[in-house]
Structure 1
Amino acid sequence: MSVTDVHYGMTVSRRTGPVAVPSGCGRHDHLSWPYLGSESWRGAVTTFLREGQERGERLLYLAAGTGDGPLDLDGVTELRAGALNRLEIIERLVDDAVAGGHTGVRIAVDTTSLVGRDFARYELVADGLIARAPLVVMCGYDLSSVAPDLAALLDFVHPLRRPRGCAGGDGAYPDGAGGWWMTGVLDLCNADHLQLALSTMPPTGEVRIDVSQLRFCDAAATRVLLRAASRRHPAGRLVLCGASPLLRRVLEVGWPGGHPGLVLR
């Protein structure tokens, strides 16, 4: 799918789904990388950042404060994981990098010490910037230190994720142009993840959600959508684009007559 980059004035495409290796990542990619052990993580980081080095990007590594030694890679600025905790800092850094001749900014961050529901909200807000700006970001977390429900939530809010067990391509994320995507399967198992994602949307106005990549959406997830639409109405509404016949049927049967805050287009 193509979206318009409103800050940098270009048309871009974003990828979603599973990624088996931390290479082949390009501008606007936002990758969740669960790992086991610091050696595994640092190997992934080196691969990820070296690719950015070859592409002329500015390289940043944000450590979690676990005492790991420096990366064996030239041209990498290493900071503490909380150093870029405000989006305006990242935007300024990107502008400076581009003005200095870099093609963009590539960031690897170990988020293990930051993981939580509030951090997942931040990831969604940050993803909107990543979708607009010349950024490539890989977020790692240690599976031995992160609860399974939080690991599933982190995967849900990242457009790209390392395959982990039976986790699929289920998620909701900004498209960078004021709209959203929903992909994979939305059901009772991840309805609370969907609710958290929708809570980060602007509270008013019309928000377009592309649901053409949804394989299934059950009644529980649909109720979450309708509650979000109710909170917006009458100051705004959710517009579902590309709804499958199955999703249309779920809405028709469960909520005959429709909902004023939810539009199918």
Structure 2
Amino acid sequence: MIERLRPGDHVCWTFDREDQRVAAVTGYVKAGVRAGQKIIYFADSPPDTLLRELRDNGVDTRHLTRIGQLKVGHPENGYLTTGIFDPVAVLDTWQREIAMARRGGYSALRLIGDMTWAGAPDVGAERLHWYEAQVNRIFADGYAMAMCLYDRRLFDPGSLVRLSAAHPSTVDPTAVWNWRPLLRMERTGEPPGLRLIGEADASNRDALAATLADLIDDMSRADAPVTLDVAGLRFADAAAARLLMSAANTAPPEVRITGCSLSLVKLMRLLGGEPRAGVVA
């Protein structure tokens, strides 16, 4: 499953045993090393402990940290730089890390965030859902990717469902061997817009909503037409169809929804999606 992740992916990886966490992180790091990507890993454990875990599982941490390809740190170095969670500051941090990885010649930036810190009181974790949804706009550019680790023993089921919906894809250790990310969202340049691949439903609705809103905001400032390419969308529920139509109907620039399957066209028509939505089958 780890091997199927690629730049642009933002995955909520849940676990309930430490060996599951270590296995996921190790596989993710090794895949990044093979691909020539820069890797950043923030977790509650001391950096020496994290590096030892990786080293014990076959990762040459001494070499990788020496050349700067692997960076390991505590949440205070990433999520809690001011002592409390400031999502806007974290988004800015990732943008800076992306710029540095590009300048360093890396093929992509691979992030790992162990979200255990969010289970502590008085750290500002009530803004975590907003952050997880908004960070998708960074990954949609296709250079950075992230695996967010959520320990199911620390988060109540309702909160975890809500946080999962802010990610395009969610997976746990019980997933079948041929699992793939449920939804991929890719910003496009020619024509300017967004390409959706996979399935859009309740499990990733907040991620889709935030990415569409960011796209329309960007294009509105540029007064440029927007294309929503859904040719790769295998399934969209009614709520996802409404999000697409809302983006098309409320944006100042011209918006076209292209590549619609017959079932999606019918669904949009049932929801009143023509003529303003610019649906093109």
Paired position in structure 2 for 1:142: 151
CA 173–147 in structure 1, closer or farther in 2 if over 3 Å, else same: farther
Instruction: Please give the alpha-carbon distance, in whole angstroms, between the structure 2 residues aligned to 1:225 and 1:209.
Output: 8
Instruction: Please give the alpha-carbon distance, in whole angstroms, between the structure 1 residues aligned to 2:204 and 2:103.
Output: 41
CA 170–102 in structure 1, closer or farther in 2 if over 3 Å, else same: closer
Instruction: Please give the alpha-carbon distance, in whole angstroms, between the structure 2 residues aligned to 1:99 and 1:62.
Output: 22
Does 2:269 match 1:252? Answer: yes
Normalising by structure 2, report the TM-score.
0.66
Aligned-pair CA distance for 1:110: 1.3
Does 2:224 match 1:224? Answer: no
Give deviations 1:25-70, integer Å, cap 9, x for gaps: 444444332221333212211221133234443332111x366833
Instruction: Please give the alpha-carbon distance, in whole angstroms, between the structure 1 residues aligned to 2:277 and 2:148.
Output: 35
Instruction: Please give the alpha-carbon distance, in whole angstroms, between the structure 2 residues aligned to 1:226 and 1:60.
Output: 37
Which amino acid in 1 is paired with 2:214? T
Give deviations 1:221-249, integer Å, cap 9, x for gaps: 433333333332xx124321110111212
CA 149–179 in structure 1, closer or farther in 2 if over 3 Å, else same: farther
Paired position in structure 2 for 1:264: 280
Does 2:181 match 1:181? Answer: no
Paired position in structure 2 for 1:51: 31
Give deviations 1:115-156, integer Å, cap 9, x for gaps: 743022223122124x1x3x3432221223334455445555
Which shifted more, 119-128 or 96-105?
96-105
Task: Choose between structure 1 and 2: higher helix proportion.
Answer: 2
Instruction: Please give the alpha-carbon distance, in whole angstroms, between the structure 2 residues aligned to 1:141 and 1:122.
Output: 18
Contact map agreement 1:183 1:213 (CA 8 A) in 2: yes
Contact map agreement 1:184 1:216 (CA 8 A) in 2: yes
| Runs of at least 5 residues in structure 1 that lack an aligned partner in the other structure | 1-19
Does 2:74 match 1:80? Answer: yes
| Runs of at least 5 residues in structure 2 that lack an aligned partner in the other structure | 56-60, 80-88, 119-124
- Runs of 4+ aligned residues of structure 1 deviating over 6 Å after TM superposition are 164-168
Paired position in structure 1 for 2:129: 117
Instruction: Please give the alpha-carbon distance, in whole angstroms, between the structure 2 residues aligned to 1:105 and 1:191.
Output: 25
Task: Choose between structure 1 and 2: higher strand proportion.
Answer: 1
The root-mean-square deviation of aligned C-alpha atoms, in Å, is 3.7
CA 97–239 in structure 1, closer or farther in 2 if over 3 Å, else same: same
Normalising by structure 1, report the TM-score.
0.69
Contact map agreement 1:172 1:197 (CA 8 A) in 2: no
Aligned-pair CA distance for 1:109: 1.3
Does 2:203 match 1:199? Answer: no
Give deviations 1:69-121, integer Å, cap 9, x for gaps: 33223123222346274445434434434544544433211135257430222
CA 217–77 in structure 1, closer or farther in 2 if over 3 Å, else same: closer
CA 28–171 in structure 1, closer or farther in 2 if over 3 Å, else same: closer
CA 104–230 in structure 1, closer or farther in 2 if over 3 Å, else same: closer
Contact map agreement 1:155 1:171 (CA 8 A) in 2: no
Determine helix, strand or coil for the equivalent of 1:31.
Answer: strand
Q: How many residues align?
A: 238
Contact map agreement 1:30 1:159 (CA 8 A) in 2: yes
Paired position in structure 2 for 1:33: 13
